[in-house]
Structure 1
Amino acid sequence: MRRGVKARLILPLMMLLNACVPASHSEVATRAVIADSTLPPMKQFAQARPATPHVSNASLAEDFLDLSFRMESGRALPVLSRFEGPVTLRVLGQPPATLGPDLARLLARLRREAGIELREVTGDSANITIQAVSRSQIRRLLPQAACFVVPNVSTLEEYRRTRRSSATDWTRLTERRKLAIFLPNDVSPQESRDCLHEELAQALGPLNDLYRLPDSVFNDDNVHTVLTGFDMLVLRIYHDPALHSGMRREEVAARLPGILARLNPGGGTVTPRPTRATPQVWSHAIQTALGREVSRNARMSAAQDALRIAQAQGWQDNRHAFSHYALGRVTQMTDAAAAQAHYQTADALYARTPGTTLHRAYVATQRAGYAVTTGDGAGALALIEPHLPIAEASENAALLATLLLLKAEALEIEGRGIEARRVRLDSIGWARYGFGPDWAVRAKLREIASLNPRNG
């Protein structure tokens, strides 16, 4: 990423079920395709249910410093920068209809859980400007970015004029006064919301991402799509009165023990987790393996490299598991059985790593999809059921819809057609939020129906 940009990378995790078997582009089983005239209304999440973080203060202090004093590129940030005092926010451009309610819910959470004074305004200026633009406008500037945040500008045109100047260099900031977030307005409601959560969190707080964090949006694995309890705690620390803009790393480190004793009192008795820095070569390999811009052979080589690095590092955490997941993703088009072995290993590693229940739900979609293709409805149901409440609590509509659609096919295999139709109908409201326009929802219905061997 350019020096003035903090971007959410495009790292797709959910769109691979069609690799289990060749997906049909025709209408596969009429029961799987809801009438063209209308789809059930979109569903949206009403109440956030973030889990209370259970983290040692020693680990939290190390995480906070690494998040706050370094960019993803490895460049050091010399001082802490933040907004001092109440923060104003405005929305420009052509935002999708769902952005208003999603933003209102997020602002309420930031005030309540992170203690940040933040209000939306309608004037000509604000500390933070959210501009809703087309995905193509974003890609013309940053081909690999889904959305991004930039300091010292308010509009995309202003960024175009200043993007190569020192004004947009995060490393030169000592205090944040004005910045812009650029969100796509022609994607699914969930993708727009996911961008909103990640970019606003980094507009208000740390700029780095750490792959070692399992329960956080401050992680380029894109598993978590809304701010977690851990993230809100990090933001509360970032805006604690004991800190201020312009402080150096050693000054912040000296004040963290007192801050953490107040904000995370239980963390003093939690055993610190062993952590090792993540080599840039592993991060690059993962992004290449799960990217879209290189050949399949290059993706396979990168996935194998990521797993070798994880094993050489001796990791037994979410990074090792994610390496197996990535290799499974690349492998499953040509060797479904080998891919399943990687998914099973990933699941076993995640099961031993706290804070990875959502990761296991992603793995479950791949394992359950394979069970459906083999006609094992009961096995698919056993894999799916434990993860439905996890997907809902994590506010991941795309994941929830996918699990429900897989459940419907598993029920069909088991001869429980009435239940299957009810579950499929329930899934569509979530699919409309998670996947967007009607054609995308119907494509997902056809894709998952094509996994069922009973559909020919």
Structure 2
Amino acid sequence: MIFTRNTPACGALARLILCLAACAVCALGATGASAQHQSVIQLASYYQQLEHQLVSQGRLRQERRIVGIDAETLARNFMAIAMRSEYSLRGGGMAQGGGASALRRWEQPIRLGVHFGPSVSGPQQQRDLSTVQSVAQRLQRASGHPIRVVGSNPNFHVLILNDEERANARSVLQQIAPGLSRAAQGAILRMRPNTFCMVVAIPGANPADGYQQAIAIVRAEHPPLMRRSCIEEELAQGMGLANDSPEAWPSIFNDDEEFGVLTRHDELLLRMLYHDSLRCGMSAGTVDDYVEALARTVLSTG
């Protein structure tokens, strides 16, 4: 089971986010259990303020096609992002730094299903569905792997919930993913405000079978840029680019939040991950032997 979440962990950005999150937690606690609507307003205000500050610092950039990517850098970033885990299960909980991992991806077509909490208005649902559909199309073009939004029988669930809905989503999780571990359920149900979004990807019993199911959590309180960033990053990470790296640039897979959308660099990583020369379950050592040649191949195709 693979976990990824967007939680900046170091530097000035992390300190800013932790400070604003602490203020949000204080505000939420001050409202009391009978004022859930006010709690949602406070958390939405926190994310609005955070988005404003990130944009004012030149973060959440919307450019996708950044020039100057070379094969050596692309290969190094592929090994860091696709062949390592961001989190692992230890002692029944999530621990950061999962270490080297076998190659993970989907072998079956991805069927995206979007579930909204009651707090998400009709117009916002339409905007979110449009975003998920456009991101799915982008991911399919980049990877060559079939991915589409469906109305029934999804294997990749996108849950867009406010804080109260997410904290009380145990029955929803048990319904859509009966095999989800207690640790995975707890990680979702206990998300703190400084975790923007999360994805849990569940592999089959045989590593060669690839992922069988995934669940992405997007906060309904997010303003537009953070909302889109979460959808783009978590869907891509749920396809198998499961780690973040502070050295990855230009990339959304870097917790400095510089880029708010998938860049050409990130789409090239997806093309590498789903290349016919790789197989699900390959070890990091095996992939490392010819990853730079693969990087040169995908760069040459544009």
Q: TM-score, normalised by structure 1?
A: 0.43
2:135 aligned to 85, 89, 106, which one?
A: 106
1:89 aligned to 112, 124, 140, which one?
A: 112
3-state SS of the aligned residue for 1:76?
Answer: strand
**Mapped contact 2:199–2:217 kept (Cα < 8 A):** yes
Aligned length: 217
CA distance in structure 1 between the partners assigned to 2:301 and 2:223 by the alignment: 39
**Mapped contact 2:8–2:255 kept (Cα < 8 A):** no
3-state SS of the aligned residue for 2:212?
Answer: coil
What letter is aligned with 1:263?
A: V
3-state SS of the aligned residue for 1:89?
Answer: strand
What letter is aligned with 1:141?
A: R
1:54 aligned to 58, 68, 71, which one?
A: 68
Residue 246 (structure 1) aligned with residue 281 (structure 2):
yes
What letter is aligned with 2:101?
A: P
Identity of aligned residues (%): 23
**Mapped contact 1:80–1:244 kept (Cα < 8 A):** yes
Task: Tell me how far 1:126 sits from its aligned partner.
Answer: 1.8
Residue 150 (structure 1) aligned with residue 200 (structure 2):
yes
1:70 corresponds in structure 2 to 84
Residue 263 (structure 1) aligned with residue 291 (structure 2):
no
CA distance in structure 2 between the partners assigned to 1:69 and 1:257 by the alignment: 14
**Mapped contact 2:197–2:218 kept (Cα < 8 A):** yes
**Mapped contact 1:68–1:206 kept (Cα < 8 A):** yes
What letter is aligned with 2:224?
A: P
CA distance in structure 2 between the partners assigned to 1:243 and 1:205 by the alignment: 13
Gaps of 5+ in 1: 17-47, 153-166, 268-456
3-state SS of the aligned residue for 1:81?
Answer: coil
2:35 corresponds in structure 1 to none
What letter is aligned with 1:107?
A: A
Residues 93 and 176 of structure 1: is their aligned pair in 2 closer, same or farther, counting only changes over 3 Å? same
RMSD: 3.1
Deviation track 1:390-422 (CA, whole Å, cap 9, x = no partner) reads xxxxxxxxxxxxxxxxxxxxxxxxxxxxxxxxx
Residue 194 (structure 1) aligned with residue 223 (structure 2):
no
What letter is aligned with 1:148?
A: M
**Mapped contact 2:3–2:242 kept (Cα < 8 A):** no
3-state SS of the aligned residue for 1:227?
Answer: coil
Residues 78 and 191 of structure 1: is their aligned pair in 2 closer, same or farther, counting only changes over 3 Å? closer
Residues 191 and 78 of structure 1: is their aligned pair in 2 closer, same or farther, counting only changes over 3 Å? closer
Task: Tell me how far 1:99 sits from its aligned partner.
Answer: 0.6
1:227 corresponds in structure 2 to 262
CA distance in structure 2 between the partners assigned to 1:240 and 1:173 by the alignment: 15
Deviation track 1:19-77 (CA, whole Å, cap 9, x = no partner) reads xxxxxxxxxxxxxxxxxxxxxxxxxxxxx862154222122212111212222322224
What letter is aligned with 1:104?
A: Q
Structure with the bigger percentage of helix: 1
**Mapped contact 1:80–1:174 kept (Cα < 8 A):** no
CA distance in structure 1 between the partners assigned to 2:189 and 2:239 by the alignment: 26
Residues 266 and 192 of structure 1: is their aligned pair in 2 closer, same or farther, counting only changes over 3 Å? closer
Residues 122 and 235 of structure 1: is their aligned pair in 2 closer, same or farther, counting only changes over 3 Å? same
**Mapped contact 2:252–2:259 kept (Cα < 8 A):** yes
Task: Tell me how far 1:256 sits from its aligned partner.
Answer: 2.1
3-state SS of the aligned residue for 1:151?
Answer: strand
**Mapped contact 1:81–1:174 kept (Cα < 8 A):** no
CA distance in structure 2 between the partners assigned to 1:245 and 1:231 by the alignment: 19
**Mapped contact 2:106–2:240 kept (Cα < 8 A):** no
Moved more, 86-95 or 224-233: 86-95
**Mapped contact 1:5–1:149 kept (Cα < 8 A):** yes
Q: Which of 1 and 2 has greater Rg?
A: 1
Question: Counterparts of 1:174-193 in structure 2 under 5 Å?
Answer: 175-193=210-228
Residues 187 and 260 of structure 1: is their aligned pair in 2 closer, same or farther, counting only changes over 3 Å? closer
3-state SS of the aligned residue for 2:296?
Answer: helix
**Mapped contact 1:99–1:189 kept (Cα < 8 A):** no
Question: Counterparts of 1:373-388 in structure 2 under 5 Å?
Answer: none
Residue 116 (structure 1) aligned with residue 151 (structure 2):
no
Task: Tell me how far 1:189 sits from its aligned partner.
Answer: 2.5
CA distance in structure 2 between the partners assigned to 1:205 and 1:212 by the alignment: 19
Task: Tell me how far 1:117 sits from its aligned partner.
Answer: 1.6
CA distance in structure 1 between the partners assigned to 2:280 and 2:208 by the alignment: 9
1:397 corresponds in structure 2 to none
3-state SS of the aligned residue for 1:109?
Answer: helix
Deviation track 1:123-169 (CA, whole Å, cap 9, x = no partner) reads 1x2221101111343685121311111123xxxxxxxxxxxxxx89x
Residue 130 (structure 1) aligned with residue 153 (structure 2):
no
**Mapped contact 1:79–1:174 kept (Cα < 8 A):** no
Residues 182 and 235 of structure 1: is their aligned pair in 2 closer, same or farther, counting only changes over 3 Å? same
**Mapped contact 1:57–1:260 kept (Cα < 8 A):** yes
Residues 116 and 129 of structure 1: is their aligned pair in 2 closer, same or farther, counting only changes over 3 Å? same
Moved more, 68-77 or 203-212: 68-77
CA distance in structure 1 between the partners assigned to 2:196 and 2:85 by the alignment: 18
